[in-house]
Amino acid sequence: MSEAFDAVDIIRTKRDGGSLADDQIDWVIDAYTRDVVADEQMAALAMAILLRGMDRREIARWTAAMIDSGERMDFSSLPRPTADKHSTGGVGDKITLPLAPLVAACGAAVPQLSGRGLGHTGGTLDKLEAIPGWRASLSNDEMMRQLADVGAVVCAAGSGLAPADKKLYALRDVTGTVESIPLLASSIMSKKIAEGTGALVLDVKVGSGAFLKHPEHARELAETMVALGTDAGVRTVALITGMDTPLGRTAGNALEVRESLEVLAGGGPADVVELTLALAREMLAATGLDDVDPAERLADGSAMDVWRRMVAAQGGDPDADLPEAKETSAVVADADGVLERLDALAVGVAAWRLGAGRARQGEPVQAGAGVVLHAKPGDHVRAGQPLLTLHTDTPERFDRALSALTDTDGEGSAAWVIGAGDPGDSGDRADIVIDRVDA
Amino acid sequence: MSEAFDAVDIIRTKRDGGSLADDQIDWVIDAYTRDVVADEQMAALAMAILLRGMDRREIARWTAAMIDSGERMDFSSLPRPTADKHSTGGVGDKITLPLAPLVAACGAAVPQLSGRGLGHTGGTLDKLEAIPGWRASLSNDEMMRQLADVGAVVCAAGSGLAPADKKLYALRDVTGTVESIPLLASSIMSKKIAEGTGALVLDVKVGSGAFLKHPEHARELAETMVALGTDAGVRTVALITGMDTPLGRTAGNALEVRESLEVLAGGGPADVVELTLALAREMLAATGLDDVDPAERLADGSAMDVWRRMVAAQGGDPDADLPEAKETSAVVADADGVLERLDALAVGVAAWRLGAGRARQGEPVQAGAGVVLHAKPGDHVRAGQPLLTLHTDTPERFDRALSALTDTDGEGSAAWVIGAGDPGDSGDRADIVIDRVDA
């Protein structure tokens, strides 16, 4: 059968700085899903899009075409309003774990389709899989039943949602075309719109440990996604949040589950609590449940109750001991003073190298591996005091993990700076929400 | 085995406007040849190179790496100096056919490794294959023997020369990454340097029917290639020549062989003769044979003698009748006046659609198909007089070929303009050499 368009014409149009027509976009996404447009052609187009950009109309159409490549879910039969959250990913970002049960405890239904980690940022599913028995794959029916019964579900996205995005995401990962705001925005929003949530809160990270290093890029991504969601009838808000320092005091799978449990028990690091509550309030406001105070639901144990039911509904044992790494190794402070900086990227890379993350899709991860932080920026430290503890089952990994922390640039720069400054508030307490983008 | 570099790092470096290091270039070309770097990764890198460019050092290293991906030929044992020519391709460009035997008749050895056509420009091998019995594939031994005996050989490049380029060329063709001056220059020069010629004359076309439409791009490509050749020890000169109007009065395989025979017989269109002699003089000057006048060797029949021996050495019958298309159709002038313009691209596309060219590598072509021009710009024409004749074995192709000539832009613009101006010199006689680039 002859095709309506030619892939090379479309690549050339974007390469030369032109706009793609709606029917060109519809065709190229559909033809790529059908394997008529080859991977090498889509890779060239993705690079041209990264370097030439897409305008708002093109991004909206690209997103719609990816949604149309698969099925759409429908939560309208649920008795509760639905609210979802997406984070662009950061080091120590375990927020989904306390947030989903917390928002469900406040009366919303939270259908959280999540992914696995790649590179230095961890994946929510990898973290939950540290819980003995817990499984990420649910059928659509199981998911709906759990949402109705428990109010919260965190599971793997089925292959039926935006299959074009699934294919394109894997391609972008190996072709240096991840960091394109139009491609990032359409990838995230096609899945979230196809998922059928009524409200969506976006956590757009910015800083050394985030995907986007510059505030203006984070703002552009946030604005693009809020516009896409709003145009598709989803109440969408974005928070731009800091990721120069790891979130909380752990990076790693079981380590982060343990820290999330502290938050659900009413404790936990102040920055994790602050961000969890900020996102919960946005999700509740977007679903009209803003008369509920999520802080109370943490304090009164109802969020923890939902967590236990949510874990159990997916086969996990909420009372089981979490895996611990076989070996640990401390990294100590090399001076007295105030910890002025502790680089998120370096900690993320160290956790990855210890076995908490994967270099390629499909690789296993270690449940117990990761990094525990004993100080955050603003804390006073003494020479010889442990700054970090490295955890792994495979101690031959310590050397490369340590070098990510002690030599971040190939010239011996450490991931931390200890200075003479007055001790300030601990980094745990620093304002983590930088900006807010609304429709 | 672990690899020295990561393809994504290299893609990102170029994507972000950086320079690739020598060892990155060596690795990426070698790893692509070994299928370790995937097609989609090379496509993304090619697009990044097209949009970000490469500096002189990078282009030289890229070229050297492609040469090193295969074997090199060596003509130093031949008693004659070697000279080769490369054209960037145009409509009606049959120059290699009279040029190779002519330069051999003047005392040089001409090892002309050629390719097949793709799209609207024809390929030299396709043209010669219109001669009954002629074969394009020779072993290296056969090629050397023919160069020693006859002095000229036109044959297919073996797969051993610059295999990285062969793979990359096919990839660029389907990914919209052909039109990159660094990639064009390195592709052409890697094959010519690996071939081992002592002197090289480049015919860089510019105009509507050429690959490059703007004189400044043609000059940049010419300068880049001359520098690459010179640095590799090949005496290299480039002529920049016009391609707004087809060269000569035919476009098509057997049609162009017939026109070449007219030139070898001492006649032929003035523009074809002019360009053949200009290139011959450059090739002879570069090999130190500049006391020979090539015009004499056309006039005295010695170039035709070499042609006949060259064709016969490759199995062709120089006396055989050339194939003729089964059907013809005339396109007539729609006004009295002076033909002011006859667009090369439109004529090339018409010849292609008639069956003279192919849309995909490996497709067959029709030996007899093509276009014959009855007037060139500067000629006076009368309404109703044939301007062009279309030739094909498959008359259902006439409609689409005609539309390439009568509607070049989707808005009914014809490929020709007939105006009121005074008749000038025929386009056959216009100065075809626009510029010359020397080391």
Residues A289-335: pLDDT tens digits? 989 999 999 999 999 999 999 999 999 999 999 999 999 999 999 99
Contact B136, B142 (CB under 8 A): no
The answer to whether the Cβ–Cβ distance between A44 and B46 falls below 8 Å is yes
Chain A contacts in chain B segment 168-197 (CB below 8 A): 171, 174-177
Which chain B residues are Cβ-neighbours of A50 within 8 angstroms?
15
Buried (b) or exposed (e) across A170-201, using 16+ Cβ within 10 A? ebbebbbbbbbbbbbbbbbbbbbbbbbbbbbb
Give the pLDDT mean for A155-168.
89
Q: Give me the residue from B12, B175, B176 closest to A176, CB to CB.
A: B12
From the list B14, B61, B86, B249, the catalytic residue is B86
By C-alpha distance, the chain B residue nearest A171 is B40
The answer to whether the Cβ–Cβ distance between A47 and B171 falls below 8 Å is no
User: Left, alpha or beta for A38 (phi > 0: left; psi -120 to 50: alpha)?
Assistant: beta
The predicted pLDDT at position A188 comes to 94
- Of B117, B109, B87, B83, the C-alpha closest to B275 is B87
β-bridge mates for residue A330, sequence order: A389
**Dist CA B377 CA B423 (whole Å):** 9
From the list B165, B343, B379, B428, the catalytic residue is B165
B433-437 sheet: strands from edge to edge? B83-87, B199-206, B235-242, B433-437
Q: Residue A376 is encoded by which pair of tokens?
A: 């955050």
The answer to whether the Cβ–Cβ distance between A11 and B176 falls below 8 Å is yes
The answer to whether the Cβ–Cβ distance between B44 and A46 falls below 8 Å is yes
CB atoms < 10 A from the CB of B367, how many? 24
Residue B139 appears among annotated catalytic residues: no
Residue B165 appears among annotated catalytic residues: yes
Q: Give me the residue from A40, A51, A177 closest to B175, CB to CB.
A: A40
Q: What would be the CATH architecture of the domain defined by A327-419?
A: Alpha-Beta Complex (3.90)
CA distances from B191 to A35, A142, B111, B157 (A): 33, 61, 12, 8
The answer to whether the Cβ–Cβ distance between B44 and A42 falls below 8 Å is no
Chain B contacts in chain A segment 20-79 (CB below 8 A): 38-48, 50-52
The one-digit pLDDT tens for each residue of chain B (439 residues) are 478 899 999 999 999 999 999 999 999 999 999 999 999 999 999 999 999 999 999 999 999 999 999 999 999 999 999 999 999 989 999 999 999 999 999 999 999 998 887 777 778 999 999 999 999 999 989 999 999 999 999 999 877 889 999 999 989 989 999 989 999 999 999 999 999 999 999 999 999 989 899 999 999 999 999 999 999 999 999 999 999 999 999 999 999 999 999 999 999 999 999 999 999 999 999 999 989 999 999 999 999 999 999 999 999 999 999 999 999 999 999 999 999 999 999 999 999 999 999 877 788 999 999 999 999 998 999 999 999 999 999 999 999 999 999 999 888 899 999 998 765 555 455 578 999 999 8
Q: Give me the residue from B39, B44, B176 closest to A176, CB to CB.
A: B44
CA distances from A39 to A31, A36, A175, A369, B31 (A): 11, 9, 10, 35, 18
CATH of domain B83-320+433-438: 3.40.1030.10
The domain covering B7-53 belongs, at the CATH homologous superfamily level, to Transferase, Pyrimidine Nucleoside Phosphorylase; Chain C (1.20.970.10)
- Of A282, A248, A276, A424, the C-alpha closest to A351 is A248
The answer to whether the Cβ–Cβ distance between A41 and B38 falls below 8 Å is no
Listed by start position, the domains of chain B span 7-53, 83-320+433-438, 327-419
Which chain A residues are Cβ-neighbours of B46 within 8 angstroms?
44
CB atoms < 10 A from the CB of A99, how many? 30
Q: Residue B234 is encoded by which pair of tokens?
A: 């090949």
- Minimum distance, in Å, between the CA of residue B32 and any CA atom of chain A: 13
Residue A407 forms contact with B (CB below 8 Å):
no
The answer to whether the Cβ–Cβ distance between A51 and B46 falls below 8 Å is no
The answer to whether the Cβ–Cβ distance between A175 and B51 falls below 8 Å is no
- Minimum distance, in Å, between the CA of residue B18 and any CA atom of chain A: 14
Give the pLDDT mean for A3-8.
90
Q: Is the pLDDT of residue A423 over 70?
A: no
Q: Give me the residue from B51, B174, B176 closest to A51, CB to CB.
A: B51
**Dist CA A121 CA A203 (whole Å):** 14
Q: Which residues of A are catalytic?
A: 86, 165, 172, 187, 191
Q: Residue A271 is encoded by which pair of tokens?
A: 């920055």
Which chain A residues are Cβ-neighbours of B40 within 8 angstroms?
39-40, 42-43, 171, 174-175
- The ipTM estimated for the assembled molecules is 0.86
